[in-house]
């Protein structure tokens, strides 16, 4: 089983005629995703590698019954692209774009409050249900169908965890990159809640980083609600206070958001915390073995 993404997902790509949007649209299609449309204003009626291009998300959805979108729109226009997709009724919105202004994302969050859709990202690698479909930039060949869920703020560390799991013959149910921006759409708790309802997910790897309180909140949720194995890692232990490291949200400010505090909260919740990302796969294997 899987969460949110499967063989039936019908994907459109906003920004498909751009270099990155086109490249990753083809990558998703080659993996097996149903890529049914692209959207680039002013280029409606054209064709991109056999994929019809429309001027708007409304037109694309009406003509193709797309229910998901992957956004590769430049930062100044990406918030409008997200809101256009939500307004068109797209159920799953995956914003890959990095560098969207925080003020724009606050506007997006308010706009989506009464919309029946899910935003993943921005500034994320996307999500993948191995063997079925992917929406994003992750290397599909390292994934293997199975029963371990992966949630991460870091794309690169997601790939590391997946590579270890696959080499240990531990396939993945769905892997979700939630992104590293301070304002995003889907939280650790959102994904954990979905995995909790999936009987075919036996355990979850949670990869966080410094900054914010999302990991502490997730740990508290796990302690009260989740009884399957959870393995955790926090990136950024050596980051100096006040200096952003990598993602826009990865900053320790006012004494909050430190790696130590997050790791302590995870351990208190019964999560198996590893000191190095190299231990993620083996620790999950040991947890499943009892």
Question: For residue range 221-234, what is the model confidence (pLDDT) as tens digits?
Answer: 999 999 999 999 99
Strands (DSSP E) contained in 86-161 are 92-95, 118-120, 126-129, 133-136, 145-152
Query: Which whole-number Å values give the CA distances from 147 to 29, 46, 130, 200, 201, in the listed order?
Result: 24, 41, 10, 6, 5
- In this predicted structure, what is the pLDDT of residue 290? 81
What pLDDT is recorded for position 55?
98
* Residues in a beta bridge with 94: 70, 120
Q: Please, what is the average pLDDT of the chain?
A: 93
Percent of the chain scoring above 90 in pLDDT: 88
- pTM for the full model? 0.94
**Going along 107-228, which residue ranges are E strands?**
118-120, 126-129, 133-136, 145-152, 172-177, 203-209
Q: What class does CATH assign to 10-120? A: alpha beta
At 256 the pLDDT is 55
pLDDT, average across residues 235-239: 71
Q: Please enumerate in sequence order all residues whose Cβ is within 8 A of that of 135, keeping only pairs 6 or more positions apart, or say none.
A: 5, 9, 11, 28, 33, 68, 70, 92, 94, 126, 127, 128
Mean pLDDT over residues 49-60, rounded? Answer: 98
Superfamily classification of domain 138-289: Succinyl-CoA synthetase domains (3.40.50.261)
Torsion (CA) 36, 40, 42, 44 in degrees, nearest 10: 0
**Is the pLDDT score of 254 beyond 50?**
no
Residue with tokens 């969207």: 100
Residue 237 pLDDT > 80: no
Q: Quick check: 172 pLDDT over 70?
A: yes
Q: Is the pLDDT of residue 112 over 90?
A: yes
Q: What is the pLDDT of residue 199?
A: 95
Q: Give me the catalytic one of 24, 141, 143, 247.
A: 247
Q: What is the pLDDT of residue 244?
A: 52
* Band of pLDDT at residue 241, cut at 50, 70 and 90: low
User: 250 pLDDT exceeds 50?
Assistant: no
Check whether 68 has a pLDDT greater than 60.
yes
Mean pLDDT, rounded, for 188-203: 98
Q: What is the pLDDT of residues 255-267, one digit of tens each?
A: 557 889 999 999 9
- The domain locations on the chain are 10-120, 138-289
Task: Look up 247 and say whether it is catalytic.
Answer: yes
Averaged over 176-205, what is the pLDDT? 96
198-216 pLDDT per residue, tens = 999 999 999 999 888 899 9
Which whole number is the average pLDDT over 55-80? 98
What pLDDT score was predicted for residue 239? 56
**What sign for the dihedral angle of Cα 31, 32, 38, 44?**
positive
Query: How far apart, in whole angstroms, are the C-alpha atoms of residue 29 and residue 31?
Result: 5
- Worst-scoring range by mean pLDDT, 64-68, 75-79, 130-134, 256-260? 256-260
pLDDT at residue 119, as a whole number: 98
Distance from chain centroid for Cα 178: 4
């Amino acid at each position: 089983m899987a969460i949110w993404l499967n063989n039936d997902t019908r994907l459109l790509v906003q920004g498909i005629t751009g270099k990155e949007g086109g490249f990753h649209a083809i990558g998703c299609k080659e993996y097996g995703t149903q890529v049914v449309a692209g959207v680039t204003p002013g280029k409606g009626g054209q064709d991109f590698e056999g994929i019809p291009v429309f001027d708007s998300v409304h037109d694309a959805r009406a003509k193709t019954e797309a229910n998901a979108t992957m956004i590769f729109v430049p930062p100044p226009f990406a918030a409008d692209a997200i809101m256009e997709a939500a307004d068109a009724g797209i159920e799953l919105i995956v914003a890959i774009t990095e560098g969207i202004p925080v003020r724009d994302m606050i506007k997006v969050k308010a706009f989506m409050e009464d919309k029946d859709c899910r935003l993943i990202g921005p500034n994320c690698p996307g999500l993948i249900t191995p063997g079925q479909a992917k929406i994003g930039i992750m290397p599909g060949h390292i994934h293997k169908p199975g029963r371990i869920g992966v949630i991460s703020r870091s794309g690169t560390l997601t790939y590391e965890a997946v590579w270890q799991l696959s080499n240990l013959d531990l396939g993945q149910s769905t892997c979700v990159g939630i992104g590293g921006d301070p304002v995003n759409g889907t939280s650790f708790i959102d994904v954990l809640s979905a995995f909790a309802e999936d009987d075919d997910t036996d355990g979850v790897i949670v990869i966080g980083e410094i900054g914010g309180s999302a990991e502490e909140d997730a740990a508290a949720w796990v302690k009260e609600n989740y009884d399957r194995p959870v393995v955790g890692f926090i990136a950024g232990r050596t980051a100096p206070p006040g200096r952003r490291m990598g993602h826009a949200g990865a900053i320790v400010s006012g004494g909050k958001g430190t790696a130590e505090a997050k790791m302590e909260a995870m351990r208190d919740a019964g999560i198996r915390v590893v000191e190095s990302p190299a231990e993620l796969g083996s620790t999950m294997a040991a947890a499943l073995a009892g």
